[in-house]
Structure 1
Amino acid sequence: MNKAKNVSKLTGLLAVSLGLFIFQTNTYADTAQSDPAVNTAVQSEQSQSSTVTTSDEPVAVDATATSDDTAVADQSTPAETVESDPTTESQPTTAEPSTVDTTESTSDEPTVAYDSQATDSSTADTTAADSTTDSQADVTADDATDSTVAQPVEDQNGSSDTTQSDTASDSSTTATTSDKDEITVSGIGDSTDSAIKQSSDNPFINFFTGITSGIAASIIYPLVASRQGAQFISKFRTLLSPNRWDVSQNWADLDEKYNPEYVKQYYTEAQDWYDNKAPKETWEVPFADGTGTARATYIKNGDSKKTIIYGQGWTTEPEGMGRISKMFYDMGYNVLMPYTRGQNTSDGEWLSFGNKDKKDWVNWINKIDQTNGKESQIVLYGQSLGADTALQYAASGDLPSSVKATIADCGFSTIPSLIYHLYTGAASSLNNITSKIGWNLNGLIPLVPFDQLLTSMNNINKLVQGFSLDDVSGITAVKNSKLPTLFISTEDDTFIPDTQTETMYKLSASTDKKLWVLDGHVGGHASASNAVQDYMKNIQDFLASAMNQDSTTSNNDLDVPATDTVAA
């Protein structure tokens, strides 16, 4: 009888753990409020140093700045680097790459972080750091405790041009390792990080938790990756938050510095425009593998030859995409909004996380070029999962000359890193319960070690879809694309941390790249577009440069060793 009760308790605990894990996805996209417990847990896993600016509005460092602009930037006071406090939620700071000089803003405009195209001076500054960063481009869990990271260190004059090595054993300096944002399935088995490789050395326990982790993965994976499962999650979240798709969510949690009154007016009109006035058309192209049909909404903008391809996020509704598309329409672009496999009106029963969708984008781009002719200009854009789809296509090689730039808004660095982030959040929430009875879980969900859960999910994905989760890596994509790229994120993103965007920025092979991280309250995941005025200005400034550059160079010309870090 006692054994039966114990089994019942274990089963119940597993169910609670799984429920918390799934519930953790409630921070996605439209969630305006952050969970302090989750934020604390996530921040405690990260040791990123941050840049504090004195500005209230965003000031961009243009990747194509003139010599005069460079001269002005060089006279600015370097941003102060401070160590983030894991006990503080949503600190208004962003991690600063060690290889780029950033300037402290003295303007009155809102923002956070910008980084720019590599210059001769920044290349010189990174020479000393090259020997310590060359082995880190693909930092996986197996070298998490051994990696050496180059980071900026201020001298007595406030300069941050010098670099210093910081190892895991050196507690006197601020660690800037981003290993938790570069986890791979292939490297997890050799990890020496107990937070990542949680499975027991005891073969009996390991065998048992392998079974329970497999059960957990078989429940979670269909909920996340299947059409029916994703729809169920979306409806369940709507049941918990009935107003989550309401237009008012665009300004519900927006700081005053981002002008919520203007945002309210803009998005109210944008909703009416998309519902009643936008010249919408339905487009179709066959899947690249011939297994079905991809569908999209196309909004033609007069005689414009410029087009934004808007990659869809996970469970993102067309209405939400439609409101945002108004910004690009107002900039003079046609807008094509393809629906990914397994979502909305496109065929398919499984979401491929961009792996198969990127091949379908070839057909979308051919259709756009046929429509607009020789003057066709295309920008790849996406939020969250859509950002990674755009990045993956940008890295696919042999791009048409019409494809000019990429805008990646809050994409993931790797799927294993995203799963790890959600896992630690769920473990923290569970620990808040068990700690009340004196049971500290130490970042572990009982019976479901992270490494075994990840391995099981990857095995299911390979069985169902035929590819590894490592094949949809944002990091791999940015290393293999030279397209001008704008990386965007927000500090209050509790679904995909802004550090993942920063990691992709630092490893990007593009020589014309920018990083913009909004501070304060913006609205959570995929919320940067809530700050309408700043969003449009920064995208316009970026595209004004990118669209005038020759981007006909094939990505096949890239020679980016898998183990080398690309200097910013």
Structure 2
Amino acid sequence: MKKKNIIISIIVGVLLVMFVGLAYIGNYFFNYALVRQEGIITEANIDPNAPQSVETYAEVVNKEKSKEDVSKWLEEVKTEETTILSEDGLNLWGKLYFQEEKTDKWVIIAHGYTSSHEDIQPIALNFYNKGYNVLTPDMRAHGNSEGKYIGMGWLDRIDMLRWIDYIVSLDSNSQVVLYGESMGGATVMMTSGEDLPSNVKAIIEDCGYTSVQEMFEAELYNRFGLPPFPILNAAEIVTDIRAKYNFEEASALEQVKKSTTPMLFTHGGNDTYVPTEMVYRLYEAANCEKDILVIDGADHGAAPDVDPETYYEKVFSFLNKYVN
């Protein structure tokens, strides 16, 4: 009997140690990946384990020209800052860029992970030059918006519905395009599976991922050479408790299957951060009117910079079919 009690005590002790260890791992991953990062994201404090790309000369030149064009544009364009309240009570911030003459053409542009509205201003300028009013929100837990936990597109899809309603409240005849890059791309794809107003005419996603689960699996392997089990399993439990969502339900792949909104899928052919193969599965899964563009030689988020002429020609020729 005494020996049996000792064995039971050892087993309980081992299980307790395992439980504590998994809880620590889950919280560590959650804090590392999903808790708001304070301060400005710069080259000096980017995660050294993140995949680094080598920019081509053309890409560098195009980026520098975009910065100059944006700087000049911001001196001239009429802008307005605004806020809305999220479903869970957060103040979400956005910036509006208005055309000089009235138009019903609108685009909402969603930025990427640990980014902000400023980083997608070159895209905003391209839409503005095509006659669109532009809204660039800071996603929850980013920039000027409130929030402690990053939504990875899943929580943000509900926020996007609020932003759409906001635009419709400004202009009941609005023709709204949703555009997103990286996590923003996942956001607009996840939004596509919701019940959208008829004002939403088309969606453009760039380098978005299939699901949060697969995104983190790829990250664990590419950055650290680690398998998903048990790290992601532990992290998902923590995320479910603290942020109120789980990785598997946060699926752009499942959402685009329900979409009825025309969608253009774009990606860089050399993307290893969000593997290029994901865009083909997303495209195949979508049941809406759709098209696809993969820019050869482009890394993550670089498609508009590597070949801007091809990229934007495709984007606006696609949109012209649905936006008057």
Alpha-carbon shift at residue 459 of structure 1 (Å): 0.3
> 1:381 touches 1:406 (CA, 8 Å); kept in 2?
yes
- SS of the aligned residue for 2:151 comes to coil
**Equivalent-residue separation in structure 1 for 2:266 and 2:93 (angstroms):** 27
Q: Alpha carbons of 1:273 and 1:210: their partners in 2 closer, same or farther (altered >3 Å)? A: farther
Residue from 281, 287, 307 that aligns with 1:509: 287
Alpha-carbon shift at residue 395 of structure 1 (Å): 1.0
**Equivalent-residue separation in structure 1 for 2:148 and 2:118 (angstroms):** 22
1:543 aligns with 2:319: yes
TM-score by length of 2: 0.86
- SS of the aligned residue for 2:80 comes to strand
**Equivalent-residue separation in structure 1 for 2:248 and 2:315 (angstroms):** 30
Aligned match of 2:198: 401
Alpha-carbon shift at residue 336 of structure 1 (Å): 0.4
Alpha-carbon shift at residue 479 of structure 1 (Å): 0.7
> 2:115 touches 2:143 (CA, 8 Å); kept in 1?
no
1:356 aligns with 2:155: yes
> 2:264 touches 2:291 (CA, 8 Å); kept in 1?
yes
**Equivalent-residue separation in structure 1 for 2:228 and 2:20 (angstroms):** 13
**Equivalent-residue separation in structure 1 for 2:17 and 2:210 (angstroms):** 31
**Equivalent-residue separation in structure 1 for 2:272 and 2:14 (angstroms):** 32
> 2:26 touches 2:237 (CA, 8 Å); kept in 1?
no
- SS of the aligned residue for 1:407 comes to strand
> 1:492 touches 1:525 (CA, 8 Å); kept in 2?
yes
The 4+ residue runs of structure 1 with deviation greater than 3 A are 203-214, 231-235
Long gaps (5+) in structure 2: 1-11, 48-52
Alignment of 1:409-488 (within 5 A): 409-428=206-225, 445=226, 450-488=228-266
Aligned match of 1:382: 180
1:489 aligns with 2:294: no
Alpha-carbon shift at residue 240 of structure 1 (Å): 5.8
Alpha-carbon shift at residue 279 of structure 1 (Å): 2.0
> 1:274 touches 1:323 (CA, 8 Å); kept in 2?
no
Residue from 144, 147, 164 that aligns with 1:345: 144
Alpha-carbon shift at residue 379 of structure 1 (Å): 0.5
Q: Alpha carbons of 1:226 and 1:286: their partners in 2 closer, same or farther (altered >3 Å)? A: same
Matching residue's letter, 1:333: Y
Q: After superposition, give the CA deviation of every residue in 1:333-370 in whole Å (9 maximum; x if it has no partner).
A: 11101111111111111112222322222332222123
> 1:294 touches 1:346 (CA, 8 Å); kept in 2?
yes
Q: After superposition, give the CA deviation of every residue in 1:507-566 in whole Å (9 maximum; x if it has no partner).
A: 1111x111111112x3x2111121221221010111012336xxxxxxxxxxxxxxxxxx
| Bigger strand share | 2
**Equivalent-residue separation in structure 2 for 1:206 and 1:413 (angstroms):** 34
- SS of the aligned residue for 2:122 comes to helix
1:253 aligns with 2:52: no
Matching residue's letter, 2:139: T
**Equivalent-residue separation in structure 1 for 2:313 and 2:64 (angstroms):** 17
Residue from 38, 44, 59 that aligns with 1:238: 44
> 1:231 touches 1:315 (CA, 8 Å); kept in 2?
no
Aligned length: 308
- Larger RCO, structure (CA 8 Å, separation 6 or more): 1
Q: Alpha carbons of 1:239 and 1:331: their partners in 2 closer, same or farther (altered >3 Å)? A: same
**Equivalent-residue separation in structure 1 for 2:164 and 2:221 (angstroms):** 39
Q: Percent identity?
A: 23
Asked which structure has the greater CA Rg, the reply is 1
